[in-house]
Copies of this chain bind each other. A is one copy, B any other.
Amino acid sequence: MNLITQAGSEVQEEGSEEGGGHGSARSESPFSATQDPNSEDLSLDQRAELLNKYQRVRTETDALSDPLSAEDMQLQSMPDASPVKWHLAHTSWFFETFILRHHLDDYRLFDPEFHHLFNSYYNSLGQPFSRPQRGLLSRPDTEQVFAYRRHVDRAIERLLAEEDCSAEVAALMTLGLNHEQQHQELLLTDILHAFSINPLLPAYLEEPADDALSGQSQPPSWLSVPEDTYTIGCDGDAFHFDNESPSHSQYLQPFRIASRLVTNREYLEFMEDGGYCEPRLWLSDGWAWVQKSQRQAPLYWQEREGGWFQFTLAGLQPVNMDAPVSHVSFYEADAFASWAGHRLPTEFEWEVAAWLYRRPDTLSAANLLEKRQYQPVPESAAAPQFVGNLWEWTGSAYLPYPGFRASADAVGEYNGKFMCNQMVLRGGSCITPADHIRISYRNFFYPHQAWQFTGIRLAGDQV
C-alpha cells in the first residue's frame, strides 16, 4: 500500500501558522486541530498567535461588508442563501454558543433571543429560526449586528488573556475561525445571487478582479496516474474538518485527468451543439431539472445584443471565452463531460492528482513509480495551478469516509448529517480564503445547485 498523500506532512506545514504540532484532536470532535485538549494550558505565545489570527479573520469578514448598504445586507434571494447580516451574526453566534457560554465565566449574552435567531441548523440547541425567512429579520439592524460582533470580540480577547486558557478553547477557536472563513465565501456567493435578481445589475466590486485564468486557449494536457492503493484524507494535527478523516486507503484504477478546467469557449460549443436539448447526454434527474428550470446556459449568463454576458461581482461583463466556465450545476458538468466523451473525476482521483501536480517533477510515468517516497512541497512551488480557481464537481457522492464518526455533542451536527443526496466538490475557488484551501477539503452541494463558484475538470479511464 502506498502513501502518496502524507496528510500529516501538509498539516505540519500549515500547522505552524496556527501554533500547531500539539498532538491530535479529540476523536469525537467534528474537526481536528492543533491543540491536544488534554494537554496543559496555552502558552502566552500561543494565545497571542490565536488572537492574532482571530483578529485577522474577523477583520476580513467585516471588510467584506464594506461595499454594502444595510439594505443589501438583508437580502435573501432564495432559501439556499442567507443575508449578509445573518452571516455576520451567525459567525459570532458560533463563538458565543460553543466557546464563550462554556469557557468564559462571567460571559453575558449580548441578547438571549439571538440564540434562536442565529442558530443555523443545530437542532440539538432548539428549533432554529425558519431558514427561508432569514431575510425578514430587519431587527436586529446592521448596527446591532456589528455591536454583537464587537461584543463577542471583546469577550474572546478577554478569554485569550486568561492564563488558564485551555487547549480545548484553542481547538474550538480554530474551528470557529474556519467556520467563519466558510461564511466569508458564502457571503459573497449569496450577495452575487441576490444582486443578480435586481434589474439594476448592482456591482459589488468596482472593477473585475484580475483574471489570472484568462488565456487558456490551448487544449488541456492530461496527467496519467497509475493504478495503486492510495491514502486519502487526513487525520494529522493540523486543522481539518471531521469529514476529511479518517485518512484511509483507496484502490484506484489507472486514470487520466485534465490539466485545466473547461473553458467558457468549450462550454459554448456544447451549448451550440444542442447540449441542453439532447436527453441522452443527461442523467435522468438532470434532464428533469433542465426541463423544469428551463436552464439553457450557465446560471449567470445572459445573451444581449447577440453576445454572451455574465453577471459577476463586478456587474455584467462580457464572457471571457478563455476563462473557466463557472456557476454550473453538477448536472451540467456531468452532461458536458458526456458530450465531450469524458467523465468527471472521483474525489479520490482528484485528491491524488492534486498531490502530484504539487510536484511537477514527478509527473513522468517513471517518477510515479517512486511516489511512495514523495514528500509534498508548499503550494507556492506548484507550477500548474490546480486548486483555487473554482470548486470542481466530482463524480463522488458525499458520503462518510470509512471509520467516520460524528461528534455526539452539538458541534457534531456540523458535517455528518448532510451525507446524503449531495455531491463532493474539490479544490476551492477564487473567493475561498487562501489559507482555507486544502487538498483534502471536501465541499458538498446538491447536484442542481449552481450559485457557488463551481467549474468542470474532465477525467477519463486509461485504456
Least CB distance, A115 to chain B, in whole angstroms: 11
Contact status A402-B136, CB under 8 Å:
no
Chain B hits for A5, CB < 8 A: none
Least CB distance, A338 to chain B, in whole angstroms: 9
Write the A169-209 contact mask toward B (1 if CB under 8 angstroms, else 0). 00000000000000000000000001001111010000000
Among residues 380 to 438 in chain A, which have CB atoms less than 8 Å away from a CB atom of chain B? Answer: 395-397, 399-400, 402-403, 413, 417-421
Least CB distance, A42 to chain B, in whole angstroms: 31
Least CB distance, A51 to chain B, in whole angstroms: 32
Asked if A279 is an interface residue, CB under 8 A from chain B, the answer is: yes
Chain B hits for A396, CB < 8 A: 399
Contact status A74-B447, CB under 8 Å:
no
- Which of chain B's residues has its CB closest to A408's CB? B280
**Contact A399 to B403, CB < 8 A, known contacts A136-B77, A138-B194:** no
Chain B hits for A123, CB < 8 A: 279-280, 287
Q: How distant is the Cα of A200 from the Cα of B114 in the complex, in angstroms?
A: 9
Chain B hits for A142, CB < 8 A: 71
**Contact A282 to B141, CB < 8 A, known contacts A74-B71, A200-B113:** no
Asked if A137 is an interface residue, CB under 8 A from chain B, the answer is: yes
The answer, among B200, B283, B413, for a CB contact under 8 Å with A418, is: B283
Least CB distance, A311 to chain B, in whole angstroms: 14
Least CB distance, A69 to chain B, in whole angstroms: 5
The answer, among B136, B194, B285, B331, for a CB contact under 8 Å with A198, is: B136
Least CB distance, A304 to chain B, in whole angstroms: 15
Write the A287-298 contact mask toward B (1 if CB under 8 angstroms, else 0). 100000000000
Q: How distant is the Cα of A252 from the Cα of B1 in the complex, in angstroms?
A: 12
Interface secondary structure of A, over-half rule: mixed
Contact status A280-B413, CB under 8 Å:
yes
- Which of chain B's residues has its CB closest to A114's CB? B200
Contact status B249-A421, CB under 8 Å:
no
Asked if A461 is an interface residue, CB under 8 A from chain B, the answer is: yes
Contact status A71-B138, CB under 8 Å:
yes
- Which of chain B's residues has its CB closest to A71's CB? B138
Asked if A129 is an interface residue, CB under 8 A from chain B, the answer is: yes
Of the candidates A113, A141, A283, A284, the one having the most CB atoms from chain B within 10 angstroms of its own CB is A284
Chain B hits for A253, CB < 8 A: 248-249, 402-403
Contact status A199-B419, CB under 8 Å:
no
Write the A272-313 contact mask toward B (1 if CB under 8 angstroms, else 0). 000000011011111100000000000000000000000000
Asked if A75 is an interface residue, CB under 8 A from chain B, the answer is: yes
**Contact A418 to B284, CB < 8 A, known contacts A139-B198, A139-B200, A140-B200:** yes
Contact status A285-B70, CB under 8 Å:
no
Q: How distant is the Cα of A330 from the Cα of B421 in the complex, in angstroms?
A: 12
The answer, among B85, B287, B403, for a CB contact under 8 Å with A461, is: B403
Contact status A139-B70, CB under 8 Å:
no
Asked if A222 is an interface residue, CB under 8 A from chain B, the answer is: no
Q: How distant is the Cα of A131 from the Cα of B1 in the complex, in angstroms?
A: 49
Least CB distance, A414 to chain B, in whole angstroms: 11
Q: How distant is the Cα of A330 from the Cα of B113 in the complex, in angstroms?
A: 35
Chain B hits for A447, CB < 8 A: 420-421
Chain B hits for A283, CB < 8 A: 417-420
| List of 7 A-B pairs having minimum Cβ-Cβ separation, nearest first | A397-B397, A123-B279, A71-B138, A251-B251, A72-B138, A284-B417, A253-B402
- A residues with a Cβ closer than 8 A to B are 1, 69-75, 77, 85, 113, 116-117, 121, 123-124, 129, 133, 135-142, 194, 197-200, 202, 229, 248-253, 255, 279-280, 282-287, 330-331, 334, 346, 395-397, 399-400, 402-403, 413, 417-421, 447, 461
Q: List 27 A-B contacts (CB under 8 A).
A: A69-B70, A70-B71, A71-B71, A71-B74, A71-B138, A71-B142, A116-B199, A117-B199, A117-B200, A123-B287, A124-B280, A136-B194, A136-B197, A138-B202, A139-B200, A248-B253, A249-B251, A250-B251, A251-B251, A252-B402, A253-B402, A283-B420, A284-B417, A284-B420, A330-B420, A395-B399, A421-B447
